[in-house]
Structure formats: structure tokens, C-alpha cells
Structure 1
Amino acid sequence: MTVAAPTNVCIIIAAKNAADTITRAIASALAEPEAAEVIVIDDGSTDDTARTARAADDGSGRLNVIRFEENRGPAAARNHAIAISQSPLLGVLDADDFFFPGRLRQLLSEDGWDFIADNIAFIDASQAETAHGRIGRFTASPRLLDLVGFVEGNISRRGVRRGEIGFLKPLMRRSFLEGHRLRYKEDLRLGEDYDLYARALAKGARYKIIHSCGYAAVVRGNSLSGSHRTADLRRLYEADQAILTEGPLSADAASAIRRHERHIRDRYELRHFLDLKNQTGYMSAIGYGLTNPGALPAIVGGILADKTERFHPRQSSAPLALGGSGVIRYLLEAPVAGPGE
């Protein structure tokens, strides 16, 4: 007898100072019939996030709001939600984003995956309420993403669109996470999603992507995801180093992770140099460069590139919608669905 695949999903929302957007996020998750649980973790907010979240309850008994008195970071918040949830499938929704109707049904119509993600629409905050009626219809075009493709998709290159594949918000099978003892690394405040997915792929996860769009990422100038500390960059490249030592990888996979590690480490070295300059003066910063010659290419190259870009107009590398034009940008390029598809 064939056993039907489990369809009960827990949607996890880690929120900090999200009182202005949490209602829309929760409502979009509760509107999905496949969502058996919606767990909101108020991660030490100083506004009314928790109270606003509880007020969004639809009476179905599926909403659970937990408040941390102190901020622990999104990784710790998500790990706590995983620990208290019961559903066999887990999904993440950022507190200022929302689902388009039918997202979970579309994802769950696919089989043969441990992680599955769909396209993302980057939407200006001022256009969020009307976005659903303007979303493009794309053919699903399912494909599997391997570790090399995933890591390469997270490496930014000057002059081209930034590496954004880590923005994907997959559903995850609890059984795979449990079987491989995988959780978010709680010391990461940047790239915690990238690290989890990379470690899962290194352990053989089947990561499927479909190109139909069910997730709206709202672009705001004060988004917490748009800022990070220098130490966050260091922890992220150290996480890459840990992946390289944790288990056997193919030569191509190891090479890709080393490229990503170098990419992040270069960003760290430039940022650390600028921090020293601002905090203790040029001589201290120059002294750091001279005593760490391996960092000099990143420092000099980064400074020259930044100065050069001042004289050349370029598109922003941020995942921005196209402002007042009303055009929505999508993470994944895909063919438009024809009539009846």
C-alpha cells in the first residue's frame, strides 16, 4: 500500500520589532490549509510584536506565539520553534514577508525532495497590498539544486547581480534534519540559512526548486537583514571552514566552498580594516595590513573598487524591487506560463 506523503507544515516566523508587518505575515500563513502550525518567536522585541501577533489569531488553534525576553538571534529563534513543533514539514517566513495564496499546495504537489523552494518576488513595501494581482505566472520547471550550484549562487561578483540563491525559503523535511542532526548555528547572525542548507546538501539532501512564485519578500530600507557586523562576516567564513572539515566532499564542492569562504573573508578583511581606521586611525589600520599581508589584496582591491564605482552609475546590488515603476523583480528567471498552464 502506498503511504501518502505528509502535508502538515509548521511555518516558523522569527520576529524582532515587527509589529508593523507581523499581522500580514501571520494571516498569509494561516490562510494556507496545509499549515498545521504557525509558530511566532518574538526575539526580544521592544515594540508590541508579541501582542500584535496574538491579535492575529484566527481562532483555529494553529497559532503559537512565544516571547524571548532577550534577543537571541534568528537561528536560536528558529531552533526553538523546531524543538516545540510537531509537524513533519518545516518552513520559514520572515516577519516582514508573506505568502501568496496557494503557495504550500504548489510546493507539496512535487515529490522527490528533502528541501523544496519556489520563486521569490521582491516587492517594494508601498506596493505589498496590491502585489498578488500583479504577480507573473511561471511554469514550475522543477530542477534539483546541487551543492556546487547552491554555493556558487551565493557568491557576489562586481558588475553582475549579487549572489542571491540563499534568499530562497524552502520547506524542509524534519526527518532529514533529525536524521543528520542538523539545526541552525546559533552563533551566526548572518548567513544562517546559507550555512544550514549548505551542510544539508553536503550530507546528500535533495534540494528541489520550482520557478512558480509563492513568496513575497518585502523590501524596506530599515530591514534587519540589510545590516550586519564585522564579526558576523568572520563567523560566516568560519562556518565555511567547518563544512570543509566535517566530512568528505567532492573536489568541485570543496572548491566552491573555498571560493565562498574566500569571498566572505575578503569582505571581512576590508570591513575590519575600515573599522580600525574609523576607531583608532589610519596608522593602526595600515599596521594591520602590513602584519597580515594575506589580507592586503582584499583591502586594496576593495578600496579601489569602491572608489571606482563612485564614477560609474550602476544598479544596486540589493534585492530591490524597481521602485515606483510598479515592476516586480523575481529571484529566479523562468519562462512565463502559457494559457491554461
Structure 2
Amino acid sequence: MLDISVIIPVYNAAEFLEKSVLSALPFEEVKEVILVEDKSTDNSLGICEKLAVENPKVKLFQHPDKENHGAAASRNLGIEKSSGAFITFLDADDYYLPNRFDAEKIFNDPKIEGVFSAIGIEYLTEKGKAEFQSKFADSSLTTVNYAAEGKEVFRGLLSLTPKTFGTFFHLNALTIRKSAIDKYHLRFNEVLRVHQDSDFIIKLAYHCYLKSGIIDQAVAMRGIHDNNRITKIVRYSPQYNQRQFLFWNSLYEWSKSLPLDSDAAQHIFLQKKAFELTGKSGFSKAICLLNVMLKNPNILRTKYRYTYYHS
């Protein structure tokens, strides 16, 4: 039997929090549910306190200064406070399904350090649905396109595989050995207010041996509502470009000291450089782009080439 620590960062989630926590508690595999309350302005703290009193599995923490530090710092604090041999995550407005840990039997193989599955989407408000569908494909599952493990996962997430693997799987459907993330000193980048999950997953896929689990049906549900941060960002807006730059720059700084395959290193560098260029304009932008093109013309073949011409 696995002993799992479920880490839930909590910020202004009073409307959804109890359902989220109660979805994790019934599993025998779940040793503890760690709530990290991040100075909410609603009644989230009170609900956290109530859940911790009523359920011995629930453990409540706040940052030492009791201030707001963001989801990355909250997940990192949860990792530090966890006592389970395995770590999972759950957003406070999402919930697990009864099959959440069905794939985790593959941990019988000591080589496997992490397993990931698919999650479903539940539209909680019409406005949230409209914003989500205007920015993302209207798919009932967030998943990858085919089963994979090991290096194929890392390369797939960077779109470097012959077949399209899919560029994302969700933290809600990831289970990882705590010993693995400690061994490789993996934590969420607290500079990133968004995309810290993608940043963590790509780094995890490089260092750890991951394997796909249940990828054709949901093991958790993601709630889409009016206040989802990721849907508020207009694509190719200055805010979008800056956040993409911070994400790719985080991967670039991490990758510089690693023996990555040349195509992976080049991909990360070019994505970083592409969004760096969006912060420039006019003659300065043209000169910088020309300099990059002379060194590596593949910059004009990146997925985000649109941004070179739209500041």
C-alpha cells in the first residue's frame, strides 16, 4: 500500500475547497492531505481550520509570515511538510475521481519514479467556459496522445518526438516518489506566478523516470470558472509574452549546466530568445532578431514566430 501526501495550495477557494479535500480523503493510499493556506481574502482559512479539526488526515499550514506567496511557494512548503513516501498535488477548485490511484500499481517497478494520467474538465460557470474555450481546444480530457515513458516523456513535452506527444499533463494527475524530487532537488520556481507547473513537470521529466498511466479517461476533474488565472491572459499580449519569457528563461537557466541533447538545448534557447525579443521594438528589435538569425535561422521556425512581428 502506498502512503501518499496530497498537497493542496489554498487561495480564495472557499466555494470549492471542501469538495476538493473530501475527494482525496477516502483513499486508503492517502496518508495525509496538506493544506497550505496562502493568505486568502475570503473564508478559505476558516474552512481549512474546520476540515483540519474534523479530519485527522488533514494538516493545515501557512507561510511563516502568514503572507501571500503564490502557488509555487505554497506547493514547496507542502513538499517540505509532507511525510508520505509519495507526493501528489490537487488544486483547491478541482477534485479526484474514484479511479485516481488505479495506475499507481506500476510503482511495483522500482525503476518508475513518477506516473501521470489524464484529467477531465468541468465547467462551473458559463463565463469561465467561454473564456477557456476561446483560448484552448474544447477537449473533454487534458492528456497526452500516446503512452510513453522515460526520455520519451521529456522529449515529447518539448515537441521533439516524431509523433505529437502533447505538451502538457496536469499536476492533479501526477504521482511522484518524494525520494526522487529530493534526490534531484526539484522544487517549483517561485519567481513564476503562472506556468510554474509546466516548468516543474518538464524538469521532472528530464531528471526522473516517468511513465504514463491512464491516459484515455479522467482520474481527476479540473474546475473551470470565472477566476481561473490562466484564461485571463490575452495571447500575444505584453503580459502573455512576458510570462512566456519568464517560463522559458527558467528552463534555459536550469538547462545550461546539463548535458541535454543538442536539439533539446536549442529548442529551449530559441523559445526563450523568441519571447525575449517581444520585449523590444523598432530598430532595436530588428537588429537583435538579425543577430539571432545569423547564428541560428531556426528561430523563424519556432512555434511562437508570430510574436516576432507583434509586440
Query: TM-score category by the smaller chain?
Result: 0.7 to 0.9
- Alignment partner, residue 282 of structure 1: none
Q: CA deviation at 1:115?
A: 1.1
Q: CA deviation at 1:292?
A: 3.6
Partner SS for 2:122: strand
Distance in structure 2 (CA, Å) of the matches to 1:99 and 1:110 = 19
Give the length in aligned residue pairs.
Answer: 269
Q: CA deviation at 1:47?
A: 1.2
Distance in structure 1 (CA, Å) of the matches to 2:269 and 2:123 = 31
Q: CA deviation at 1:259?
A: 2.4
Q: CA deviation at 1:63?
A: 0.5
Q: Which has the larger radius of gyration?
A: 1
**1:212-231 residue pairs with structure 2 within 5 A?**
212-227=217-232, 229=239, 231=242
* Aligned residues of 2:122 and 2:222 also touching (Cα < 8 A): yes
Task: State TM-score, norm by structure 2.
Answer: 0.74
Distance in structure 2 (CA, Å) of the matches to 1:193 and 1:225 = 12
Distance in structure 2 (CA, Å) of the matches to 1:88 and 1:172 = 9
Q: CA deviation at 1:182?
A: 1.7
Matched AA of 1:32: F
Equivalent residue in structure 2 for 1:240, among 237, 251, 254: 251
Task: State TM-score, norm by structure 1.
Answer: 0.68
Work out whether 1:167 is the aligned partner of 2:170: yes
Deviates more, 1:260-269 or 1:9-18: 260-269
Q: CA deviation at 1:12?
A: 0.5
* Aligned residues of 1:8 and 1:35 also touching (Cα < 8 A): yes
Distance in structure 2 (CA, Å) of the matches to 1:171 and 1:192 = 17
Distance in structure 1 (CA, Å) of the matches to 2:113 and 2:27 = 20
- Alignment partner, residue 199 of structure 2: 195
Distance in structure 1 (CA, Å) of the matches to 2:242 and 2:167 = 21
Partner SS for 1:103: coil
* Aligned residues of 1:50 and 1:65 also touching (Cα < 8 A): no
- Alignment partner, residue 114 of structure 2: 115
- Alignment partner, residue 156 of structure 2: 149
Work out whether 1:286 is the aligned partner of 2:282: yes
- Alignment partner, residue 158 of structure 1: none
Distance in structure 1 (CA, Å) of the matches to 2:30 and 2:230 = 25
Equivalent residue in structure 2 for 1:98, among 92, 95, 100: 95
Distance in structure 2 (CA, Å) of the matches to 1:303 and 1:239 = 20
CA RMSD of aligned residues (A): 3.4
Per-residue Cα deviation, 1:55-107 (whole angstroms, up to 9, x for no partner): 33483411012234322121111111111110000001011111012312x03
Matched AA of 1:93: L
Q: CA deviation at 1:45?
A: 1.3
Matched AA of 2:225: R
Matched AA of 2:270: R
Q: Give 5+ residue unaligned stretches, structure 1.
A: 1-5, 128-134, 154-160, 274-284, 307-341
Matched AA of 2:206: A
Q: Give 5+ residue unaligned stretches, structure 2.
A: 127-139, 234-238, 294-299
Q: Check 1:288–1:220 CA distance in 2 against 1; reply closer, same or farther (3 A cut).
A: farther
Partner SS for 1:20: coil
Matched AA of 1:259: H
Runs of at least 4 residues off by over 4 Å:
161-164, 227-231, 294-300, 303-306
Distance in structure 1 (CA, Å) of the matches to 2:208 and 2:167 = 22
Q: Percent identity?
A: 19
Matched AA of 1:194: S
Matched AA of 1:150: L
Partner SS for 2:220: strand
Deviates more, 1:199-208 or 1:172-181: 199-208
- Alignment partner, residue 83 of structure 1: 80
Work out whether 1:43 is the aligned partner of 2:38: yes
Q: CA deviation at 1:302?
A: 3.5
Q: CA deviation at 1:214?
A: 0.7
- Alignment partner, residue 156 of structure 1: none
- Alignment partner, residue 4 of structure 2: 9
Q: Check 1:195–1:59 CA distance in 2 against 1; reply closer, same or farther (3 A cut).
A: same
- Alignment partner, residue 24 of structure 1: 19
Distance in structure 1 (CA, Å) of the matches to 2:32 and 2:232 = 30
- Alignment partner, residue 52 of structure 1: 47
Partner SS for 2:117: strand
Q: Check 1:31–1:231 CA distance in 2 against 1; reply closer, same or farther (3 A cut).
A: same
* Aligned residues of 1:151 and 1:257 also touching (Cα < 8 A): no
- Alignment partner, residue 332 of structure 1: none
